[in-house]
């Protein structure tokens, strides 16, 4: 009997759970598909396209291109700083400055650097609110030495002055020349600095007016005259006031966050041009004080040559340069050596020398003591000599100073005012004071510290503040000061620092005894290491010798055993050979006896036989018997030889 039951109704709750499961599965599948698509086709958020600004590029200190294509320059670096705040990218348009200015006015470029302010230009271009720097106008000419005129431009009268075609510098120079009564013929030029230098050297033009100082003009074959300095601005096309507004905002931000940016760029890229002509007043003073007498303290910076007595070292390098660096006056110097600071200072006070070297440039100390100090000639590293192993220059110390060493006192007052100076009559007295603990240290140049380290128990601590070296002279020598400062300004400081490295190193040759004293710990460690190494070598040799002896004894034992075994084998072989010989001898003898009987009977049969056939048999039998007997005799003879029987 079949029974039918009604279907169980499905609750709405079960239906909803089932739908939810399907919906979750579909959502998970779509999510996985979306993740896969994002992986295969990544998308990035939309970016605003960077604004492209067309900038004029002219080859100079403002825009430079290196050998590998790298860009640099005063204006280039400044514009890159601005671009970091504006988001610009630059498109560079190349040409001369005059060509680029015309393109700016025509709207063919958007921006140009180093544009001086002129009211006539206001309707044509837009200026930045702040200057980007200053622009100097320079006159470059062939060097005119021996002239007595104090006017550096007098040689231009009636000459030919080159300038960049379309340059605005000429309008600056024109009024100045007219006031001096100098008349020139302008010769517009369109070539680069290298060709201009060739034209100057050949005399095709007498001078060249420029606003950029190219490296080709920095030769000592040319004279340089700084005409004027003017503020220069970024300039923009009249159609791009938006660029001016963004630049003004960026320059204001840079002024707040990086206030010394222009100074850093100027120091990095600009060349300071110093006029190589001195005034008539200076010439007159030099005529009355010829030569300039320099008193110098013998030491690491200047020394008297042992053979000639002439000055050597850094001071000689300065004199060599300064003697002929001016166009209208050759300078003469007389260098006089002194062995102590007090003697040198007294000589200057007595008027025996016009100035002294070296001196630390401390203007406050110079004012208090009635001295003038020239500009910085070079810097020299300094060191403290002490008995302390944990010396710190930040702490307060008592420093021993020779009483008459005004140079050292000026240095300490300027760099370490928190130290207490104690005067001693000589440097040896200072050394003894430090050694006995009466003073914490004495200070000397890094090049002279070696002479102190020979004496135990001194230590050396190099100081973080170098000494600024200059010349010192009486307070009334202001004209001499201006002349010396002019020569120092023309002298590359790197040349003097290089001379310091060459000449200031001590000439003292270290003896073996000094080396051992100064490096006792290292020497002892080295000797111990050598001794230990020697012991290791000897021990290794002994171990190898013992091992070799053991191996030799083992080989000897094995050789003895092998020799005994060989003797036994030889004896057995001889015994076997003897037995063989005896056997052969006995066997051969026993066989020959019956063989003789056989041959004898065969001979008797031969006498009785008459049948030819039988005689033939008998002959062959007799022949075979003789052959066999011969073989037996041979074996018997061999056995006789083996057995030693004759």
Complete DSSP assignment for 2-57: ----PPPPPPHHHHHHHHHHHHHHHHHHHHHHHHHHHHHS------PPPPEEEEEE
Digit-coded pLDDT (tens) for 85-135: 999 999 999 988 888 999 999 999 999 998 888 888 899 999 999 999 887
SS3 (DSSP) at 156: helix
SS3 (DSSP) at 222: strand
Task: Tokens 């100390």: give the residue.
Answer: 365
* Residue 17 reports pLDDT greater than 60: no
Is residue 251 within 8 Å of 128, Cβ to Cβ?
A: yes
Give the tokens for residue 395: 């702490």
* Residue 46 reports pLDDT greater than 50: no
Quote the crossing angle between the two packed helices 74-86 and 241-257, to the nearest 10°.
100
Predicted pLDDT of residue 521: 72
Higher pLDDT, 143 or 289: 289
Which residues on neighbouring strands pair with residue 295, listed in sequence order? 336, 356
SS3 (DSSP) at 554: helix
* Residue 462 reports pLDDT greater than 60: yes
Q: Among candidates 605, 638, 639, which has minimal Cα distance to 619?
A: 605
Q: Output the CA–CA distances (angstroms, integers) from residue 633 to 332, 397, 599, 630, in the order listed.
A: 134, 128, 14, 5
Half-sphere exposure of 275 (CA within 13 A, CB side): 16
* Residue 581 reports pLDDT greater than 90: no
Higher pLDDT, 268 or 487: 487
Q: Output the CA–CA distances (angstroms, integers) from residue 74 to 68, 80, 132, in the order listed.
A: 19, 10, 10
Give the mean model confidence (pLDDT) for residues 202-217.
75
Give the mean model confidence (pLDDT) for residues 2-11.
43
Predicted pLDDT of residue 640: 67
Q: How many helices (H) and strands (E) does the chain have?
A: 19, 24
| pLDDT bucket at 4, cuts 50 / 70 / 90 | very low
What is the residue-wise DSSP string for 456-524?
A: TT-EEEE-SS-EEEEEEEETT-HHHHHHHHHHHHHS-HHHHHHHHHHHSS--PPPPHHHHHHHTHHHHH
Of the listed ranges 170-184, 254-268, 573-587, 601-615, the least confidently predicted one is 170-184
Of the listed ranges 113-127, 229-243, 442-456, 507-521, the least confidently predicted one is 507-521
Residue 445 sits at φ, ψ, to 5 deg, of -75, 155
Strands 125-127, 111-116: pairing kind: unpaired
Give the mean model confidence (pLDDT) for residues 186-203.
81
* Residue 48 reports pLDDT greater than 60: no
| pLDDT bucket at 41, cuts 50 / 70 / 90 | low
| pLDDT bucket at 186, cuts 50 / 70 / 90 | confident
What percent of the chain clears pLDDT 70, i.e. is strictly above it?
A: 80
Give the tokens for residue 631: 């073989």
Predicted pLDDT of residue 168: 53
- Whether the bond into 291 is cis, omega within 30 of 0: yes
Quote the crossing angle between the two packed helices 612-643 and 520-608, to the nearest 10°.
150
* Residue-averaged pLDDT of the chain: 81
**Burial (CB count <10 Å: 0-12, 13-18, 19+), residue 266:** middle
Predicted pLDDT of residue 551: 86
Which residues on neighbouring strands pair with residue 302, listed in sequence order? 313
Q: How far apart are CA 536 and CA 118, in angstroms?
A: 88
Predicted pLDDT of residue 642: 64
Higher pLDDT, 497 or 286: 286
Which 8-state DSSP code applies to residue 119?
A: G
Predicted pLDDT of residue 574: 81
Higher pLDDT, 566 or 189: 566
Q: Output the CA–CA distances (angstroms, integers) from residue 27 to 18, 30, 37, 447, in the order listed.
A: 14, 5, 15, 81
User: Which H helix or E strand runs over 135?
Assistant: strand 133-142
What percent of the chain clears pLDDT 90, i.e. is strictly above it?
A: 25
| pLDDT bucket at 24, cuts 50 / 70 / 90 | low
Strands 292-297, 333-338: pairing kind: parallel
Higher pLDDT, 636 or 630: 630
Strands 125-127, 222-237: pairing kind: antiparallel
Q: How far apart are CA 347 and CA 318, in angstroms?
A: 21
| pLDDT bucket at 6, cuts 50 / 70 / 90 | very low
Digit-coded pLDDT (tens) for 249-280: 999 999 988 988 888 888 777 655 566 778 77
The count of residues in the chain is: 646
Digit-coded pLDDT (tens) for 56-75: 998 777 888 888 888 998 89
Strands 459-462, 382-386: pairing kind: antiparallel
Q: What angle do CA 289, 292, 298 make, to 5 degrees?
A: 150
| pLDDT bucket at 515, cuts 50 / 70 / 90 | low
Predicted pLDDT of residue 13: 41
| HEC readout, 63-90 | CEECCCCCEECHHHHHHHHHHHHHCCEE
Strands 160-164, 185-189: pairing kind: parallel
Give the tokens for residue 394: 């930040």
Predicted pLDDT of residue 169: 61
* Residue 9 reports pLDDT greater than 60: no
| pLDDT bucket at 223, cuts 50 / 70 / 90 | confident
Is residue 508 within 8 Å of 450, Cβ to Cβ?
A: yes
């Amino acid at each position: 009997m079949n029974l039918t039951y009604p279907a169980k109704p499905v609750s709405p709750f079960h239906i909803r759970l089932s739908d939810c499961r399907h919906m979750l599965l579909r959502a998970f599948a779509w999510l996985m598909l979306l993740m896969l698509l994002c992986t295969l086709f990544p998308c990035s958020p939309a970016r605003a396209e960077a604004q492209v600004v067309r900038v004029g590029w002219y080859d100079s200190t403002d825009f430079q291109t290196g050998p590998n294509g790298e860009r640099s320059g005063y204006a280039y670096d400044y514009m890159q700083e601005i671009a970091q705040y504006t988001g610009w990218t630059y498109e560079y348009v190349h040409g001369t400055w005059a060509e680029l200015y015309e393109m700016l006015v025509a709207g063919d470029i958007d921006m140009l650097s180093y544009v001086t302010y002129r009211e006539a230009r206001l309707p044509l271009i837009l200026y930045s609110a702040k200057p980007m720097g200053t622009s100097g106008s320079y006159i470059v000419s062939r060097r005119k030495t021996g002239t007595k005129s104090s006017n550096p431009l007098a040689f231009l009268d009636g000459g030919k002055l080159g300038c960049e075609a379309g340059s605005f510098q000429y309008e600056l120079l024109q009024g100045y020349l007219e006031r001096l009564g100098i008349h020139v013929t302008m010769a517009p030029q369109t070539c680069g600095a290298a060709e201009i230098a060739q034209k100057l050297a050949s005399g095709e033009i007498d001078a060249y007016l420029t606003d950029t100082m190219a490296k080709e003009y920095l030769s000592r074959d040319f004279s340089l005259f700084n005409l004027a300095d003017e503020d220069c601005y970024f300039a923009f096309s009249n159609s791009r006031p938006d660029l001016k507004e963004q630049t003004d905002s960026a320059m204001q931000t840079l002024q707040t966050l990086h206030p010394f940016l222009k100074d850093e760029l100027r120091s990095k890229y600009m060349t300071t041009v110093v006029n190589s002509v001195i005034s008539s007043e200076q010439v007159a003073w030099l005529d009355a004080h010829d030569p300039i007498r320099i008193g110098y303290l013998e030491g690491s910076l200047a020394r008297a040559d042992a053979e000639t007595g002439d000055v050597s070292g850094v001071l000689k390098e300065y004199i060599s340069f300064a003697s002929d660096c001016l166009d209208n006056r050759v300078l003469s110097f007389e260098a006089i050596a002194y062995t102590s600071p007090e003697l040198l200072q007294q000589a200057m006070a007595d008027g025996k020398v016009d100035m002294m070297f070296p001196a630390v440039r401390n203007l406050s100390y110079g004012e208090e003591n009635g001295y003038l100090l020239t500009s910085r000639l070079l810097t020299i590293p300094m060191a403290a000599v002490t008995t302390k192993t944990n010396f710190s220059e930040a702490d307060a110390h008592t420093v021993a100073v020779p009483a008459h060493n005004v140079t050292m006192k000026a240095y300490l007052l300027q760099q370490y005012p928190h130290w207490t100076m104690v005067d001693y009559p000589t440097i040896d007295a200072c050394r003894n004071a430090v050694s006995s603990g009466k003073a914490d240290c004495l200070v000397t140049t890094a090049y002279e510290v070696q002479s102190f380290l020979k004496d135990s128990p001194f230590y050396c601590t190099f100081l973080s503040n170098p000494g600024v070296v200059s010349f010192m002279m009486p307070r009334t020598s202001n004209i001499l000061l201006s002349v010396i400062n002019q020569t120092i300004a023309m002298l590359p400081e790197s040349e003097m620092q290089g001379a310091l490295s060459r000449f200031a190193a001590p000439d003292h040759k270290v003896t073996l005894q000094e080396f051992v004293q100064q490096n006792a710990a290292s020497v002892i460690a080295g000797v111990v290491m050598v001794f230990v190494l020697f012991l290791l070598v000897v021990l290794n040799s002994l171990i190898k010798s013992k091992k070799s002896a053991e191996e030799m004894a083992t080989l000897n034992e094995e050789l003895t055993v092998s020799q005994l075994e060989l003797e036994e084998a030889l004896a057995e072989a001889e015994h076997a050979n003897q037995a063989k010989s005896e056997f052969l001898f006995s066997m051969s003898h026993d066989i020959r006896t019956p063989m003789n009987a056989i041959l004898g009977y065969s001979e008797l049969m031969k006498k009785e036989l008459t049948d030819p056939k039988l005689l033939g048999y008998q002959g062959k039998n007799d022949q075979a018997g003789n052959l066999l007997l011969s073989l037996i005799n041979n074996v018997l003879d061999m056995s006789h030889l083996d057995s030693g029987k004759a």
